[in-house]
Amino acid sequence: MRAAFVVAPRRYEIHEVPTPRITDDEMLVKIEACGVCSSDMTAYKDSYSDELKKANPFPRRAGHEPAGTVVEVGGLVKGFQVGDRITGYFADDAYCEYVAVDPTRFAAHRGHGFVIEKIPDGIPFEYALGEPLMSFVSIARTTTPELGDYVFQIGAGFMGLGIIAGVSSPKLREYIVADLDDSRLELAQELGATITLNPSRVDVVEEVMKITSGRGVDVAIEVVGHPIGIKMTGDVIKTNRAKVILVGWHQAPDTYELFNWIKCPIIYSPQGIGMSTDYQSELQRAMWALEKGVFPMEKLVTHKYRLEDIGQAFEDNLSMKPGYIKGVVMPFLE
């Protein structure tokens, strides 16, 4: 089978490797789609710290947002059969054609086991990306703003837009979203943002303070993964017990200014379904919400790539080419 390997900074190669042979406890899954996640960019660019580079030498494999079809089932596997369409978290190396999955395996390095759910009828594989959808659910359940709250969010990429869809509510006084891309801000308003701000044209902190009459916001959500996002959330929160939700994936060494965090916020970091106490429940809720149209993946998944075009997929993610929100690698795309 074919599998993608990062062999050097910003360089992917497709190699032929043996198709996995399953045991009685496993099933073979054909990868129909695997989402391109911004958290993979650090491995792709090789911008890890020196310590992490040693722990993750080249060649590297990636891909943790798989959806696929069960094509072979071991004799001891229960609850699944050939032909089942499944999604969730069941691989860290899913930029390939097939993976072997043990439904009972505990993945200690992720802090939870494989989490698998069947895809609702009529939902395309490229929209049924269970791992990020689980994160949408976890973040929404962690954020839980209260009646009359001001909510601020910096970042309206794929994850940010999904969060808006899950968190927005008529009970909020304002849902303020900041991003540099006007097209994404327009979509943010479609999904529930009430005020949008482009930092290239306005002083976001000044505008937020005007909107809140100088008080600051009750809830701030950071979804950019860079120091500017951390600073801005600190600048706009109210004094004493604001809630800060850190979603951005901060993997590369950098310098952070935390002066305004002396306001004593309550800080949560639910990215990667880390705040969940019941992972299977998060995935089940995600599939229910997807089927009900809560998460409009047809608007968020904008690009599909063949496996041999995975390098272009990653470059499009890094450059945020016009119109790009979420890319999906589909190994059997014709």
pLDDT per position as a tens digit, 112-140? 567 899 999 999 999 999 999 999 999 99
Query: Is 80 exceeded by the pLDDT of residue 25?
Result: yes
Between 328 and 40, the higher pLDDT residue:
328
pLDDT grade, residue 144 (50/70/90)?
very high
CA neighbours closer than 13 Å in the CB half-sphere of residue 121: 0
Query: Is 90 exceeded by the pLDDT of residue 286?
Result: yes
Between 85 and 43, the higher pLDDT residue:
85
Residue 60 within any structural domain of the chain: yes
Residue 26 within any structural domain of the chain: yes
Cα 17 from Cα 5, distance rounded (Å): 11
pLDDT grade, residue 277 (50/70/90)?
low
Query: Is 80 exceeded by the pLDDT of residue 161?
Result: yes
Q: CATH code at 111?
A: 3.90.180.10
Residue 210 within any structural domain of the chain: yes
What pLDDT, on the 0 to 100 scale, is given for residue 235?
Answer: 96
Residue 289 within any structural domain of the chain: no
Same domain, 123 and 167: no
Query: Is 90 exceeded by the pLDDT of residue 249?
Result: no
Residue 283 within any structural domain of the chain: no
Residue 197 within any structural domain of the chain: yes
Same domain, 35 and 146: no
pLDDT per position as a tens digit, 164-186? 999 999 999 999 999 999 999 99
Q: Give the chain's domain count.
A: 2
Q: CATH code at 181?
A: 3.40.50.720
Under a CB-based contact definition with an 8 Å cutoff, are residues 97 and 30 in contact?
yes
Same domain, 145 and 254: yes
Same domain, 221 and 181: yes
pLDDT grade, residue 108 (50/70/90)?
very low
- Domain end (from 223, 253, 272): 272
Same domain, 91 and 219: no
Same domain, 94 and 140: no
Same domain, 189 and 96: no
pLDDT above 90 covers a percentage of the chain that reads 77
Question: What is the full DSSP assignment across 83-145?
Answer: T-EEEEE--S--SBSEEEE-TT-EETTTTEE-EEEEPPTT--GGG--HHHHHHHHHHHHHH-P
Same domain, 137 and 121: no
What pLDDT, on the 0 to 100 scale, is given for residue 177?
Answer: 98
Residue 282 within any structural domain of the chain: no
- Domain end (from 255, 272, 289): 272
Structural domain boundaries enclosing 215? 133-272
pLDDT per position as a tens digit, 51-71? 888 888 999 999 999 999 999
15-24, 98-107, 113-122, 209-218 — which is least confidently predicted?
98-107
Task: Classify each residue of 275-295 as buried b or exposed e, where b means 16 or more C-beta atoms within 10 Å of its C-beta.
Answer: bbeebeebbbbbbebbeeebb
Cα 89 from Cα 331, distance rounded (Å): 18
Residue 245 Cα to chain centre, angstroms:
14
Same domain, 99 and 212: no
At residue 31, φ and ψ (nearest 5 deg) are -80, 110
What pLDDT, on the 0 to 100 scale, is given for residue 106?
Answer: 53
Same domain, 138 and 261: yes
Same domain, 150 and 259: yes
- The mean pLDDT value of the chain amounts to 92
Query: Is 80 exceeded by the pLDDT of residue 299?
Result: yes
At residue 12, φ and ψ (nearest 5 deg) are -100, 150
Residue 189 within any structural domain of the chain: yes
Same domain, 153 and 260: yes
pLDDT per position as a tens digit, 186-225? 999 999 999 999 999 999 999 999 999 999 999 999 999 8
Residue 271: what residue type? Q
